[in-house]
């Protein structure tokens, strides 16, 4: 099954570089007292040269958190301060996006600062040293030691996309970051931040003059190449494979999944969105995984399923914008739980997925979920800045005529149960998984997984008989994993190179 088979043959996400005449996104909201900006470049971590993982990320930071030719970073902070405005950057695998928002009163003071950031970066050495050392610290200390859930998610992504340009996280690796020089950053900027690669978005209470002023900045960028990036083709997963990140003292945080070949715009994407929401809408209690693992058994704080990348899930309730990708996973996130319950929770989750793929969604669940999503998706873009983010992502996915959110709501009306169950069958059924688990008991968990031994759990307090009966089935649920398909990675080596 390919994306083309579900009606998207004319379009390849991300295959046309953002830019060129007409690529701008204008989203006027008359009467709104603020203006939101989004400047997106076809420059992402997939463009990092081997050995320089983190180059796009550092370059993005050198635009958004450093000096320009006109002002030191300190002067920029001082100038933005009274406006209560800032601009920030998200560097993802495909795109570097600068975003910001200011009050209409302050547009004339804000816009020159914002546009200088991408037109006239100074690449100051002191800024570079600061940002590089922060970026290394973020991996060495924060990612490895202070956020097990994000670590497991990032590790899964790297595990699945190994040997592709998506293999390393956008923030790079410790060794990659260490090897990057200021000249590397200058060169990356020179090559990628060209007029053919930019899309400019503006939303809110702006007028024509401001729109024109923003658009004109494209012409100030140099002309350059916009080479099409090579395809992202993750290796097929032939058997279940496990990466155990050995972190002494840690509880267990689990992410697992496999690649799926669907994208925004495909009918199957929306059909899978229904199935995935039923299984585990992010931060919602209705999902099946949440019910089984948290609501009934109280094992952890939450359990969710995804068909698109969702970085920073611990902090955000709604999907991110500016994370457009050409390749993606079906992914399950099991939040931190005691190590001794990890095997059980994993079985419980996999068993639910198997039940879904074996029996399909039931009519009542389907109706409820699509009704839910038709309205819940209003929350995906509550603010003008987020609507702008979705519109910019629509450019990436080639959804110019009908945007993703509009299409999403239409699909919630049009899809049938058969559509959803067919999509489940095509994309989720009979698949093998890659699993990434951060745990303080890697050896023991690894042995238990390889042995496939039963994983009964005890409760501090009595549970109803039907729960205990189901527990027995879960505890013995077959989860075939070969001993040689389990790899242990000491946490201090995670994202090292």
Q: Which is nearer to other proteins, 430 or 462 (CB)?
A: 462
Span 30-59, contacts to other proteins by CB under 8 A: 31, 33-34
The yes or no reply on residue 28 touching other proteins (CB under 8 A) is: no
Q: Return d(Cα 446, Cα 232) in angstroms, integer.
A: 30
For 318, list phi and psi in degrees, rounded to 5: -110, 160
Number of residues that bind other proteins (CB under 8 A): 74
The yes or no reply on residue 74 touching other proteins (CB under 8 A) is: yes
The yes or no reply on residue 220 touching other proteins (CB under 8 A) is: no
Find, among 198, 190, 243, the residue nearest to 218 by Cα.
Answer: 198
Span 247-266, contacts to other proteins by CB under 8 A: 247, 249-251
The yes or no reply on residue 88 touching other proteins (CB under 8 A) is: no
Find, among 306, 262, 386, the residue nearest to 11 by Cα.
Answer: 262
Q: Which is nearer to other proteins, 149 or 261 (CB)?
A: 149
- H or E, element range at 348: helix 342-359
The yes or no reply on residue 129 touching other proteins (CB under 8 A) is: yes
The yes or no reply on residue 147 touching other proteins (CB under 8 A) is: yes
Q: Which tokens go with 35?
A: 């203006």
8 A C-beta contact, residue 284 and residue 478:
no
Q: Which tokens go with 91?
A: 């560097």
The yes or no reply on residue 145 touching other proteins (CB under 8 A) is: yes
8 A C-beta contact, residue 361 and residue 420:
yes
Q: Which is nearer to other proteins, 228 or 469 (CB)?
A: 469
Tell me the closest approach of the beta carbon of residue 83 to other proteins, in angstroms.
6
Q: Which is nearer to other proteins, 262 or 405 (CB)?
A: 405
In this chain, which stretch among 19-27, 44-52, 457-465, 473-481 interacts with other proteins, using CB under 8 A? 457-465
Q: Which is nearer to other proteins, 260 or 381 (CB)?
A: 381
Contact with other proteins (CB under 8 A) among 461, 465, 478, 484:
461
Span 167-206, contacts to other proteins by CB under 8 A: none
- Tally Cβ neighbours within 10 Å of residue 49: 13
- Tally Cβ neighbours within 10 Å of residue 163: 9
Q: Which is nearer to other proteins, 228 or 367 (CB)?
A: 367
In this chain, which stretch among 3-11, 41-49, 69-77, 422-430 interacts with other proteins, using CB under 8 A? 69-77
Relative to beta strand 198-204, strand 25-28 is parallel
Tell me the closest approach of the beta carbon of residue 386 to other proteins, in angstroms.
10
Q: Which tokens go with 137?
A: 């610290």
Span 422-441, contacts to other proteins by CB under 8 A: none
Q: Which is nearer to other proteins, 31 or 236 (CB)?
A: 31
Q: Return d(Cα 429, Cα 260) in angstroms, integer.
A: 11
Find, among 240, 251, 228, 245, the residue nearest to 160 by Cα.
Answer: 240
- For helices 267-280 and 404-414, give the axis angle rounded to 10 degrees: 80
8 A C-beta contact, residue 289 and residue 281:
no
Span 314-353, contacts to other proteins by CB under 8 A: 314, 317, 335-338
8 A C-beta contact, residue 489 and residue 246:
yes
For every residue of 249-297, which 3-state class applies, written as one string? CCCEEEEEEEEECCCCCCHHHHHHHHHHHHHHCCCCCCCHHHHHHHHCC
Find, among 150, 200, 215, the residue nearest to 491 by Cα.
Answer: 150
Tell me the closest approach of the beta carbon of residue 130 to other proteins, in angstroms.
5
Tell me the closest approach of the beta carbon of residue 300 to other proteins, in angstroms.
4
Find, among 329, 332, 325, the residue nearest to 281 by Cα.
Answer: 332
In this chain, which stretch among 38-46, 48-56, 161-169, 455-463 interacts with other proteins, using CB under 8 A? 455-463
Q: Return d(Cα 279, Cα 318) in angstroms, integer.
A: 17
Find, among 291, 320, 289, 319, the residue nearest to 305 by Cα.
Answer: 289
The yes or no reply on residue 285 touching other proteins (CB under 8 A) is: yes
Q: Is 100 helix (H, G, I), strand (E, B) or coil?
A: strand
x-or-dash string of contact with other proteins, 371-410, rule CB under 8 A: xxxxxxxxx--xxx--------------------------
The yes or no reply on residue 233 touching other proteins (CB under 8 A) is: no
The yes or no reply on residue 144 touching other proteins (CB under 8 A) is: yes
In this chain, which stretch among 227-235, 246-254, 351-359, 448-456 interacts with other proteins, using CB under 8 A? 246-254
Q: Which is nearer to other proteins, 225 or 382 (CB)?
A: 382
Span 466-495, contacts to other proteins by CB under 8 A: 492
């Amino acid at each position: 099954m390919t994306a083309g088979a579900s009606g998207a043959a004319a379009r390849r996400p991300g295959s046309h570089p953002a830019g060129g005449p007409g690529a701008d996104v204008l989203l006027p909201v008359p009467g709104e007292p603020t203006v939101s900006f989004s400047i997106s470049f076809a420059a992402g971590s997939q463009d990092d040269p081997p050995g320089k993982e983190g180059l796009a990320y550092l370059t993005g930071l050198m635009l958004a958190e450093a000096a320009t030719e006109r002002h030191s970073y300190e002067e920029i902070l001082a100038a933005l301060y009274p406006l209560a405005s800032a601009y920030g950057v998200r560097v993802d695998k495909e795109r570097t996006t600068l975003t910001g928002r200011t009050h209409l009163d302050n547009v004339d003071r804000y816009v020159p600062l914002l546009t200088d950031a991408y037109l006239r970066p100074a690449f100051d050495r002191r800024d570079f040293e600061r940002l590089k050392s922060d970026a290394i610290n973020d991996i060495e200390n924060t990612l490895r030691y202070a956020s097990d859930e994000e670590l497991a998610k990032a590790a899964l992504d790297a595990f699945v996309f190994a040997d592709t340009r998506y293999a390393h996280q956008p923030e790079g690796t410790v060794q990659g970051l260490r090897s990057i020089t200021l000249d590397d950053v200058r060169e990356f900027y020179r090559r990628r931040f060209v007029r053919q690669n930019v899309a400019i978005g503006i939303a809110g209470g702006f007028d024509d003059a401001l729109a024109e002023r923003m658009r004109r900045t494209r012409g100030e960028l140099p002309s350059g190449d916009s080479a099409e990036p090579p395809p992202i083709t993750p290796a097929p997963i032939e058997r279940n494979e496990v990466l155990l990140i050995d972190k002494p003292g840690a509880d267990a945080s689990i992410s697992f999944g496999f690649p799926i070949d669907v994208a925004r715009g495909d009918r199957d994407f929306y059909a899978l969105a229904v199935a995935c929401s039923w299984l585990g809408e992010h931060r919602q209690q209705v999902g099946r995984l949440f019910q089984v693992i948290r609501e009934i058994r109280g094992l952890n704080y939450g359990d969710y399923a995804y068909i698109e990348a969702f970085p920073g899930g611990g902090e955000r309730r709604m999907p991110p914008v500016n994370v457009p990708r050409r390749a993606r996973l079906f992914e399950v996130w099991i939040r931190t739980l005691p190590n001794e319950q990890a095997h059980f929770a994993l079985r419980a989750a996999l068993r639910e997925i198997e039940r879904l793929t074996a029996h399909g969604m039931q009519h009542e669940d389907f109706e409820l979920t699509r009704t839910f999503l038709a309205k819940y998706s209003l929350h995906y873009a509550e603010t003008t800045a987020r609507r702008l983010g979705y519109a910019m992502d629509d450019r990436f996915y080639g959804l110019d005529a009908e945007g993703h959110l509009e299409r999403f709501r239409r699909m919630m009306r049009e899809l049938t149960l058969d559509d959803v169950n067919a999509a489940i069958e095509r994309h989720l059924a009979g698949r093998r998984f890659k699993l990434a688990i951060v745990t303080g008991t890697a050896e023991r968990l690894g042995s238990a997984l390889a042995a496939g031994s039963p994983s009964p759990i005890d409760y501090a307090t009595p549970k109803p008989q039907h729960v205990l009966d189901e527990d027995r089935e879960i505890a013995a649920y077959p989860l075939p994993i070969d001993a040689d398909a389990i790899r242990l990675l000491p946490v201090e080596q995670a994202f090292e190179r």
